[in-house]
Amino acid sequence: MGQVRQTRLELAALTRNSAEKSLIINSTMTSQFEPVRRLPNMQDIGPTALAERDAAITTLRGVFGLRGYDRSETPILEQTELYIRKSGGALSSRLYGFLEPGGLDVSLRPEFTSAILRQIANTTASDGQIRLMYDGPVFRYARPEDEDGDKTRQFTQLGAEMIGAHAPSADGEVIAMALEGLEALGITGGRVVVGHVGVVVDALSEFNLSERAKLFLINNIGELKNGEVEEVSNKATALGFITEAVVDDAQAAADRERIASTIEQVLAEGMGVQFGKNTGVRTPAEIVARLSRKMSQVENPVDFKRALDMLVNLSQVSGPAVSALQQGEAVLSSAGVSADLISNLGEVLESAEIEGVSSDRLNIDFGMARGIAYYTGMLFDIYLDDAHSETLGGGGRYDGLTRALGYDRDVPSLGFAYNLEAVIAAIGSTDNASDEITMISPEAEGSIAEAVAKAKDLRANGQRSAIEFQSLNDPSEDQVT
């Protein structure tokens, strides 16, 4: 027993010591340490803004719900892989990624679509049509000197996905719903600018280009639209797509033959002799195999130049739907490409009009570039008005995404998301102020018990009420003074 008692005493002493220690730490904290600041470009959100956001979310959920969309939620944290599979460098370089305690490489979600499609692919095997909506915070990092360097790095997306629908009418529905949601919030002037990745990809397919060259051109459409033709040409030259020498097919064929025979020689004599010893973990055979694959895909610089010229012209076509469609067809025809490619875009716009979207709210932009590489067909941005100053959100079609995520089937899918903070800013000031709170002072009521009882009564009647504790003495103050 004596043993136990002593241990208790020691424990008590220890506890007292650590309590004193924590007191010491507390009293020196303020002088030694600076306050912990909020992360740059992150926001604290107060009651008014939250009430505004809640109201907007409720309204939009109502609009989407009436059209048959059900709510869905995915984790904020995912394996980084989910977002790099098909998102493209513009998004994957902005991930908040880190090693989680379990040793996995994870990222805060920068968008919802990949996760929603993963959820669908995992949980359903049916070929039916699924409509889902979601909302929540997303995270995108930007360096201070980047174009988006001053934007908040956490913002709220609210969006919808339609999975399992091929028809252009589905695209029309999604565009119409994006504008309908804004109208429900009182934003009546919303505009949509529509582009089409499919048109660009299909048009490039009519030239004799490698996948690598096609990808290069698609990735640079934004630069071409901005008139940076020379910069893009320089990059293409550096990468060998454009050669400065006069193009001579016979010469090019002879070159190819010469290189092929060199490779054969290398294969016969061994890599080390010709090209240095160090091939790393790649075997000489692997290198030669890929090189010959690459060479078989080498484009004729004339084809590349023609494709580039076509894309320069196409990227400049934008404006009201009817005239832009005509101009787009003209560009394709004059480049020797079938103008039929544009018909899908025409059908999409027609179906949006059937949904009641007036044509003056729909513009086309063939040079539309989107940082997220998974889009395969129509894509669109939502704007507040004709000035197209700030985008309120956007979306598009991504039929190949499920396969890219590792599932063995392509599921036609499309969707869009609002940037909720931008949408709310566009609504302007609304009256979402909460009801007044009735403060009850224990002093005035006579006692704490009476004050609590009164507050309870008020709450029972649905009235906000709270106890005013400040009037009660703070015992710690007594000690100090």
Chain residues binding another protein by CB under 8 A are: 37, 39-40, 84, 88-90, 92-93, 95, 143-144, 212, 215-216, 235, 238-240, 271, 275-282, 284, 287-288, 290-291, 294
From the list 407, 392, 348, 421, the residue with the least C-alpha distance to 114 is: 407
Nearest-approach distance from CB 394 to another protein, in angstroms:
21
Long-range contacts of 311-317 (CB under 8 A, 24+ apart): 311/200, 311/203, 311/204, 311/217, 311/221, 311/224, 312/224, 312/229, 314/200, 314/203, 314/366, 314/367, 315/221, 315/224, 315/225, 315/366, 315/367, 316/225, 316/366, 316/367, 317/364, 317/365, 317/366, 317/367
Q: Give the span between the Cα atoms of 414 and 432, in whole angstroms.
A: 33
Q: Which is nearer to another protein, 109 or 131 (CB)?
A: 109
Strands 130-139 and 70-71: parallel
Nearest-approach distance from CB 297 to another protein, in angstroms:
11
Q: Which is nearer to another protein, 106 or 175 (CB)?
A: 106
Q: Which is nearer to another protein, 150 or 360 (CB)?
A: 150
User: Could you identify the residue written with the tokens 């995520």?
Assistant: 405
- Region of residue 130 (phi > 0: left; psi between -120 and 50: alpha; otherwise: beta): beta
Q: Which is nearer to another protein, 90 or 184 (CB)?
A: 90
For residue 109, how many other CB atoms are within 10 A of its CB?
Answer: 23
Helix (H) or strand (E) segment spanning residue 440: strand 438-440
Nearest-approach distance from CB 290 to another protein, in angstroms:
4
Please give the structure tokens belonging to residue 167: 């028809």
Give the number of residues written for the chain: 481
Which residues sit opposite 397 in a β-bridge? 414
Q: Give the span between the Cα atoms of 369 and 315, in whole angstroms.
A: 9
Nearest-approach distance from CB 218 to another protein, in angstroms:
12
Q: Which is nearer to another protein, 239 or 466 (CB)?
A: 239
Nearest-approach distance from CB 105 to another protein, in angstroms:
10
Q: Which is nearer to another protein, 211 or 477 (CB)?
A: 211
Nearest-approach distance from CB 139 to another protein, in angstroms:
15
Nearest-approach distance from CB 81 to another protein, in angstroms:
8
Q: Which is nearer to another protein, 19 or 295 (CB)?
A: 295
- The answer to whether the beta carbons of residues 215 and 209 sit under 8 Å apart is no
User: Could you identify the residue written with the tokens 């999409």?
Assistant: 348
Please give the structure tokens belonging to residue 309: 């010229």
Q: Give the span between the Cα atoms of 206 and 337, in whole angstroms.
A: 6
Distances (CA, A) of 302 to 199, 242, 246: 21, 8, 10
Nearest-approach distance from CB 173 to another protein, in angstroms:
33
Nearest-approach distance from CB 93 to another protein, in angstroms:
4
Helix (H) or strand (E) segment spanning residue 394: strand 391-397
Q: Which is nearer to another protein, 152 or 343 (CB)?
A: 152
Q: Give the span between the Cα atoms of 396 and 417, in whole angstroms.
A: 10
Q: Which is nearer to another protein, 102 or 144 (CB)?
A: 144
Q: Which is nearer to another protein, 136 or 284 (CB)?
A: 284
Nearest-approach distance from CB 217 to another protein, in angstroms:
12
Nearest-approach distance from CB 86 to another protein, in angstroms:
10
Rg of the chain's alpha carbons, rounded to an integer? Answer: 31
Q: Which is nearer to another protein, 275 or 469 (CB)?
A: 275
Give, as one character, the DSSP assignment of residue 154.
E
Phi, psi of 36 (to 5 degrees): -75, 120
User: Could you identify the residue written with the tokens 């719900």?
Assistant: 65
Q: Which is nearer to another protein, 284 or 346 (CB)?
A: 284
Give, as one character, the DSSP assignment of residue 70.
E
Q: Give the span between the Cα atoms of 304 and 12, in whole angstroms.
A: 82
Nearest-approach distance from CB 37 to another protein, in angstroms:
6
Q: Which is nearer to another protein, 292 or 343 (CB)?
A: 292
- The answer to whether the beta carbons of residues 424 and 392 sit under 8 Å apart is no
Nearest-approach distance from CB 78 to another protein, in angstroms:
15
